[in-house]
Amino acid sequence: VEPIDDVRQAIQETLNHPIGSAPLHELAKPGDRVCIVFTDITRSSPDHLLVPALLDELKKAGVKDENITLLCGIGMHRPSTPEEKAIKLGTDVVSRYRVIDNEPQNPAALVDLGTTPGGVPVLLHRAAVEADLLIATGIVEPHQYAGYSGGRKTVAVGAAGEALIAHTHGPAFVDHPGTRLGQIDGNPFHEAVSEAARRAGLRFILNVVLDDNKRILRVTAGEPELAFQ
């Protein structure tokens, strides 16, 4: 598959015509508190291209800079460094907006959204849950547990509390025959991730597919389930 020549144009075209959703500049309203959850340095998602494009859409909608939080979805990884945040987002974005890390072991930073039918405790970062508009970036690629990464996983794992991550990465889930690379249907991990993101109120995603050289092959945006599919 040939990589996309003009990546910025492709991202903008995707944002102009999202899947199953109004454009972001129509979803957002002046005065809204917006949270964008982005991947940490361990993921190849080109957030330095994706996040600024999302911020431009929010600016068109009249959302103020001070009402936007960029949440690094570190999951249970170590906190990201200032240098890593700058690599992921660009120095201009980091200097202009509130950029924070997930805090999976800080009860004060988490909101309890109950337990899924599968028994998963849903605790997610307060900045994501309390936003009027929750957005996520991501990279769609085969994942050993979730079937595929991207979609809702950036929020549901990246911005999750330790209890949710421990449960979904524990033996009962990992040993389940449905928890497999490239498998979505009947995958309890994928089902838990989807439910957690739904409870968080995830409204809009911007995802890419990359080749082995990290070049962008495909960009999708819009309603989390449809755009991920």
Distance CA(7)–CA(3), nearest Å, equals 9
* Strands 202-210 and 133-139, sheet pairing: parallel
Dihedral sign, Cα of residue 199, residue 182, residue 163, residue 40: negative
Active site residue 77: yes
| 223 in Cβ contact with 136 (< 8 Å) | no
Dmax (CA) for the chain in angstroms is 47
| 137 in Cβ contact with 36 (< 8 Å) | yes
Instruction: Quote helix, strand, coil % in the chain, to nearest 5.
Output: 35, 25, 40
**Residue from 25, 48, 125, 143 carrying the catalytic annotation:** 143
Residues counted in the chain: 229
Which pair of structure tokens corresponds to residue 180? 């497999």
Active site residue 17: no
Half-sphere exposure of 182 (CA within 13 A, CB side): 0
Buried-state track 25-45, b at ≥16 Cβ within 10 A, e below 16: bebbeeebbbbbbbbbbebeb
**Residue from 48, 77, 169, 176 carrying the catalytic annotation:** 77
Q: Would you please indicate which residues are annotated as catalytic (active-site) residues?
A: 77, 143
